[in-house]
Amino acid sequence: MKRMPVRAGRPTIIDVATEAGVSRQTVSRVVTNHPRVAPATRVRVEKAIATLGYRPNRMARALVTQTSLTFGFAAIDMRDPHFGDTCFGMQVAAREHGYYLVVTELDFDDDRGLGTLETLLTLGVDGVALFPSILSDSDIEQFAASCGCPVVMIGRASKVPNVVSIAMDENAAAELVVDHLVERGKKRIGILMNEIFPEVVHQRYVALREAISNGTAVATAAVEAGYPRIAQGRIAATTFLQRGPDLDALIGFNDTMAMGALLACDDLGLRVPQDVAIVGYDGIPFGALTNPPLTTIVQDSIGMADAAFRSLLSCLEHGPPPEGKVLLWEPELLIRGSS
Amino acid sequence: MKRMPVRAGRPTIIDVATEAGVSRQTVSRVVTNHPRVAPATRVRVEKAIATLGYRPNRMARALVTQTSLTFGFAAIDMRDPHFGDTCFGMQVAAREHGYYLVVTELDFDDDRGLGTLETLLTLGVDGVALFPSILSDSDIEQFAASCGCPVVMIGRASKVPNVVSIAMDENAAAELVVDHLVERGKKRIGILMNEIFPEVVHQRYVALREAISNGTAVATAAVEAGYPRIAQGRIAATTFLQRGPDLDALIGFNDTMAMGALLACDDLGLRVPQDVAIVGYDGIPFGALTNPPLTTIVQDSIGMADAAFRSLLSCLEHGPPPEGKVLLWEPELLIRGSS
DNA sequence: TGATACGATGTCAACGCTCACACTAGGGTG
DNA sequence: CACCCTAGTGTGAGCGTTGACATCGTATCA
């Protein structure tokens, strides 16, 4: 398979040096803003750069400096607005600091995504921010130990050595949700969750069960394989409601699943919130438009993304936290029509 | 600003060569699946690779081969599900072929995004897929001429030299939309568009006006600066409906804007679709959940993304189309409750 | 048995860049 | 005036990898 030469004809530092009549090192100094360059020379070099349209090759630079100004960002499905918003937040922060993001979807078939992460490393990223999803804490620990760059995980609060973990306070969130539902007179609360996120689900599930056990309501769980998109949530909720013990409230693992539940209620002729109250997690913007609008636990995706970026930067400067570090975010309950 | 060494201690090809007692070239041959390696040697090298956890450095490789197995993907705001879905589609195709995606948001402040694209090139991407958004055809033409790699644009049908353009047939779409609205008895159709996408908006706008002129309806346009998210659509639609000539239908530039219009109607006490019918473009999944559900022109984002990826690959193999090339996609009208 | 071929491996240079160091010229110091 | 210092510049090496070529040993053939 022959290929046309890629990036053909892009001028190199040598071309600029020749054009400006200096050595490549001088050009390098100009490009990297080194102070020891005579003003006249600097001008000459800058003119040559402009003339030739020169842009330094960041791969070559990275090879020498061992720094690519590139971070990896990995999540299970960017189509989910929660991940998308987080990705956006990291983009914004990255741009501000001259960084680029290599974005990748974690592929379950590929050793739970570890293979994809490993390959990501070969691109020379300076750090990795990821939603652990299906990866366990020990997976993450092992990855962080061998990858040779800072690792930040978003969405699960775990003290993993050398890893910064950014997550919402699940206990506070669960309390907000359950208190709210109990206040609304709901007694039989179902938890609509997905077994493919054992650890996240576990944290959220445990928190919810605990919160519920303080009240009078009954908890149950429904699970459904496959990434939780609207359709999956609809199927899971339908099954759940049909065989469930007369549920009067449903808590979705995320807004997308909760939206599926909204559709399921519609399918089954159940009124929301009178017959079944529905609450989601994440606070994606589209939740404001559903019928009825979705009550949800709002996560500050952009803020968390920004923190993730800053944490990576900080790890690069001061090293990663040896015993791990957890940044906890306060949840906010946004009450709308669905509850 | 001192930094910790990045990717510290990752084994190199030399380490593997030493471990296996061969030269680095032999290791390279094993890694790249070169046929001329003795089976016994191959096994020995593979064992060394496994032992050390070696992964070839793709930057170093790219420096030599001039091929990074990396594509750039640029859009104006990944939070819009249409862009997000397209990004996802490219991810899937990329993964299948061992490619990675460098994803970037185009920043308007930065020379309409051209600066961002230029920087993207310094990362050594083998090709770029982008939503042109604010960039004109001649911007794209110039970029394609100087970037030294294949360029694919998505979302605008334009014959730009050396560029593959992937877009929906706007005329067919406009006809579907307008015919449908006329059939519903609508006579005064408003077009809710955004002036920051002059070229895309232009194509869609011209197509819609033309379609409308065939019927009896009246067309108007409302514009609003800023990227079209729900909130912007709401504001624009509100202004539009308040001062507009008794509109009985509103066509949104995309689903997000149409959703804003839905909220605006709610604000103004207008019934949808009785008082005002609303139609969007894109067919994002969340449109199924609005109140009422959104009628929309469905674009096959995943399919178009796949085509974009394949086009980049094809350009690498056979060179880009000198006079440009347009791949047109058939739109589909999904009629739901909002019209 | 010697020439030939070929399979298997190694060596060298290069990709584009930066780091460490060496060098030059001019200015200040004693 | 010999000395050192410093600003400004150039040189060589090397980052981790692969392409081109050279080399070696062994099997094949006349």
User: A219 to each of A151, A196, A238, A307, how far by Cα in Å?
Assistant: 35, 20, 17, 34
Is the pLDDT at B309 greater than 90? The verdict is: yes
Q: What CATH number was assigned to the domain covering residues B70-168+301-329?
A: 3.40.50.2300
Is the pLDDT at B150 greater than 70? The verdict is: yes
Nearest CB partner across the interface for A124, out of B7, B315, B317: B7
- How far apart CA B257 and CA B190 sit, in angstroms, is 13
3-state percent helix, strand, coil for chain A, nearest multiple of 5: 45, 15, 35
Please tell me the predicted confidence (pLDDT) of residue A4: 37
- How far apart CA B71 and CA B79 sit, in angstroms, is 20
Count of CB contacts below 8 A, A vs B?
194
Answer yes or no: same fold for A13-56 and A170-298.
no
Please tell me the predicted confidence (pLDDT) of residue A180: 96
A320 CA, D18 C1': Å apart: 35
Q: Which of A 97-116 have CB under 7 A of nucleic chain C?
A: none
**Could B149 and A6 be called an inter-chain contact, meaning their C-beta atoms sit closer than 8 Å?**
yes
Contacts of B96 in chain A (CB under 8 A): none
C-alpha distance from A187 to closest chain B C-alpha (Å):
27
- Interval B212-270: pLDDT, tens: 876 555 555 555 556 778 988 898 888 888 876 688 899 998 999 999 999 999 999 99
Report the nucleotide nearest the CA of residue A38, measured to C1'.
D8
CA-wise closest residue to A299 among A155, A93, A200, A201: A155
Virtual torsion, Cα B270, B272, B277, B283, nearest 10 deg:
130
- Interval B182-221: pLDDT, tens: 999 998 888 888 777 767 777 888 898 888 876 555 555 5
- How far apart CA B60 and CA A190 sit, in angstroms, is 53
Residue nearest to nucleotide D7 (CA to C1'): A36
A64 CA, C27 C1': Å apart: 36
- Interval A282-296: pLDDT, tens: 999 999 999 999 999
Work out if B1's Cβ lies within 7 angstroms of strand C. Answer: no
Is the pLDDT at A121 greater than 50? The verdict is: yes
A70-168+301-330 fold: Rossmann fold (3.40.50)
A170-298 fold: Rossmann fold (3.40.50)
Work out if B60's Cβ lies within 7 angstroms of strand C. Answer: yes
CA B55 to chain centre: 31
**Could B230 and A285 be called an inter-chain contact, meaning their C-beta atoms sit closer than 8 Å?**
yes
Architecture of domain A13-56 in this structure: Orthogonal Bundle (1.10)
| Alpha-helix residue ranges (DSSP H) falling in chain A | 13-20, 24-31, 39-52, 58-65, 81-96, 114-122, 137-147, 170-183, 198-213, 230-243, 255-268, 301-318
CA B175 to chain centre: 24
Nearest CB partner across the interface for A60, out of B9, B63, B79: B63
User: What are the domain boundaries of chain A?
Assistant: 13-56, 70-168+301-330, 170-298
Averaged pLDDT of chain A = 89
